[in-house]
Structures are given as structure tokens and as C-alpha cells.
Amino acid sequence: MSSVSIKKERLPQLDTFRALAILGVLHVHSTSFATIESVHLKAFYLINFINVFFRYGTPSFIMLSSFVLFYNYYNRPLNGKLVGGFYKKRMLYILLPYVLISAIYFIYKMHVAGTLGAGTETYGDMLARYWKNLREGTAYTHLYFVYISVQFYILFPVMLFLFKSSKWFTRWAIPIGLILQWAFVFWNKYELHYPTKGSLAITYLSYYMIGAFLAIYFDKIRGWLMSDAKDLSAKAKFWNAALWISWAAVVAAHVWFYQEIRQGELVANSLWYELLWNLHTLLTAMVLMRASFVLFRKGPKWLIKLLTRLGELSFAVYLVHPLVLGYYRDTEDWFFSHVHMGSVTYFAWIYGGLICALLVSWIVTQTILRWIPGAWVLLGSVPASLRKKKTGPAAPASATNRNV
């Protein structure tokens, strides 16, 4: 491997990918309670579809995080300077925001429970509980993503060494990831019984491995990503069609599965949940990669501009949006005291939460990052398009190397 750092081509399409991924996260979180509340309504079928279809969000972010890291670091010399710089950036732009935003959600949960300032526990007890939340990624339901990202960052130099030193490991990265991930699934189900396994990086190892594999072999797949379907070779057309058909079939099966489960028509082994979720989200991450490049190339400029900005803000929006949703959901009783609850009105209120979470989070985070010095300590690195000359420590040099 060359000892000279090779500057990588910037991939603006990845911001489109991030935008599509954060829209997936917002759809799932906005409909989470609705899948239970709406079972007796006709709107349930649409709400269930949205909730299951968009489950690709967080796994896609995980795959993209791995892709970005290996894309930026694989061809650079692995030495103390590289590792030190890597950890410095992650401490500043990932770990510090995680610690601070966890504190905000910790206080918010006490506010919602009515225990804030009630004197029901000592400051020592609260600090111990907060520390436990940090160690488990449970300060709020969505923060497990940042927690597992931190785990991956700890392991990244070791994984980078393995990929750089072993062609065999690189070639078989995807099967290795799937085998290890599913070995843990079976071990946890039949022996370990760890209650919050979704907060462990091993649960998402296949996504990390696929991201790494795609980054390392990017020169071999860029033709597929950069070309229209009609311009692909016969072999590429076959595999492209196979990907989309397989994806559609698995998504349909996954949606039907949850529809039957939620309506009490089906009882299934937990392994079916794991299998359908894994297949659905893995295939969707691949489809999103292809779709992002096609959309960036052929979509209207105004749409690409919006998606690019949303992608730039995706990490900040991810951190903030549950607060907006939480306060929006407090309007349910008021809303339905003025409007009769039916399929149409209930769906309108649910989707209103999605729109509210998206727009308010977008506006608030963009305003904070643009105008408040040092906002990076809470919301991560400031996008280049919003950055002033001095906003704190220098953001990552590569525009490809965003937080998520």
C-alpha cells in the first residue's frame, strides 16, 4: 500500500443518500405509536406499510458510515497520526454531541414523567442513571445509533488493518459479516438473552462489512452507480434487475408479516423478525445507493438542492427530531376534541407529525449551526455550506466525511 495519502473524489451523491435515509427514520418514528392505535381503522394498512417500508433508515446510515470511513481512510497509510486524527474528530463531532444530547433527553424524560425537580432521587442517583444510559445508548430511543457508531469507531483501526493486510478478508467481508452477526443472533436468543442487543455494534456487522466492501471496490461498482440502466452491460442489467426484484419481494413480505402480526393473525418465531428485517434493510441500502446516484444525476435541480441540504443536516436532524415529535404528540387530545377521529383525520394527524418533525428540526438545526458559534459541540460538525470562518475546531476536510 502506498505510503502517500491519496485524495479521494468527492461524492455529493452521498448527501442525497443521507437525505433519503433520514426521511426513512422520520417516517418510522412518526408512525411508531400509530401502528398500535390505528389497528381498528382502515388507515392501519397504510400506516403499517409506511412504518415497515421505511425501516431502512438507521441501517442505511450505518452502511453509509462504514462506506465513508473506508472510502476516506483505506488508501491512506495506517500510522499513529492517522489513528490519532481519526479519534480526535470522532471525540469532537460524535462523542461530545452524544454526551450532551443524551443529557438533554435525560432531562426531557424526567420532565415528561413529572419527576424533574420532584426530589424523588438524589443527584448521585441521577448521575448513576445517566451514566448507565450513556453506556447502553438508552438515554432516548434513537440514541442507540450514535452509541453503536462509537463502538464501531473504537474497532475501526483494527478493522482497517485487517482489510489492508488481508485480501482474503476483504474478498469475503460480506459473508464474514453475515455469519458473525447471525452467530450473535442465535447466541443471544438461546443463551445470552441480552435485553438491548440493538445497542450493540455486532447486531449491524453485515452493514458495516457491506459499506467497507463497496468503498474498497468502489472503482469496480462506480460504472453501475454512474450509468443509466439502458447503458449497463448485459451482466450488470441482470444483477441490477435481480436486486430490484428481490428488494420488492422482501419488502412486500416484510410489510405483510407485520400486518398479520399486529392484527393478531400470526404468531412467529423471533428469528423471522430478524431475517426479514435484515434482508429488507440490506437490500434497501443497496437500492438507495443506486437510487441516490440516479436521482442526483437526473432529478430536478431544486429537488437535489433540497436533498443535499437535508443530507448535510441529517445528523443534527436525527438528534433533534424526537423532541419535536414528543411535543407534537401532546396535541392529540386537543386535535381530536375538535375533529372526529377517522381513518383520514387520524392519518392526517400522524403525517402532520412527520412534516412538523422534519421542518422544525431542519429549520432549528440549520439556524443553530449557521448562527451560533460552537454549535458543533451539540449537533456535530458544521456543513461547509453553513460554516463561517471560525466556528470552533476545523471540521473534517473531506465533504464526503460527514457524521452519518
Q: Assess whether pLDDT exceeds 90 at residue 218.
A: yes
CA separation (Å) from 251 to 21, 219, 287? 16, 29, 12
Is-contact 223 180, C-beta < 8 A? no
- Least trusted range by pLDDT, from 56-70, 220-234, 261-275: 220-234
- HSE-up (13 A, CA, CB side) for residue 84: 3
Q: What is the per-residue pLDDT for 391?
A: 45
* 69-126 pLDDT per residue, tens: 999 999 988 888 888 888 888 888 999 999 999 999 999 999 888 888 777 788 888 9
Q: Assess whether pLDDT exceeds 70 at residue 400.
A: no
Question: 387 vs 354, which has greater pLDDT?
Answer: 354
Q: Assess whether pLDDT exceeds 60 at residue 270.
A: yes
H-type alpha helices, 32-114: 34-37, 44-53, 57-73, 80-90, 96-113
Average pLDDT in the 52-74 region?
A: 95
Average pLDDT in the 235-241 region?
A: 92
Q: What is the per-residue pLDDT for 402?
A: 53
Q: What is the per-residue pLDDT for 69?
A: 94
Angle between helices 218-226 and 234-262 (to 10 degrees): 80
Is-contact 346 42, C-beta < 8 A? no
Q: What is the per-residue pLDDT for 7?
A: 64
Distance CA 254, CA 280 (A): 7
Q: What is the per-residue pLDDT for 209?
A: 97
3-state DSSP assignment of residue 44: helix
Q: Please state the length of the chain.
A: 404
Closest to 47 in 3D by CA, of 258, 239, 320, 319: 258
CA separation (Å) from 304 to 32, 78, 249, 295? 29, 36, 29, 8
Q: Assess whether pLDDT exceeds 80 at residue 191.
A: yes
* 331-385 pLDDT per residue, tens: 999 999 999 999 999 999 999 999 999 999 999 999 999 999 999 999 999 998 8
CA separation (Å) from 390 to 52, 240, 312, 375? 42, 45, 19, 11
Q: What is the per-residue pLDDT for 393?
A: 52
- Backbone φ/ψ region at 119: left (φ over 0), alpha (ψ -120 to 50), beta: left
How would residue 265 be classed by pLDDT, with cut points 50, 70 and 90?
A: very high
Average pLDDT in the 219-247 region?
A: 92
Q: Considering just the CA atoms, what is the radius of gyration of the chain in Å?
A: 22
Distance CA 28, CA 51 (A): 5
Q: Assess whether pLDDT exceeds 60 at residue 227.
A: yes
Q: What is the per-residue pLDDT for 6?
A: 56
* 251-260 pLDDT per residue, tens: 999 999 999 9
> Quick one: what percent of the chain has pLDDT higher than 70?
94
String of DSSP letters for 220-279: HHHHHHHS-GGGS-HHHHHHHHHHHHHHHHHHHHHHHHHHHHHTTS----HHHHHHHHHH
Q: Assess whether pLDDT exceeds 90 at residue 399.
A: no
Distance CA 71, CA 211 (A): 9
How would residue 2 be classed by pLDDT, with cut points 50, 70 and 90?
A: very low
Is-contact 84 361, C-beta < 8 A? no
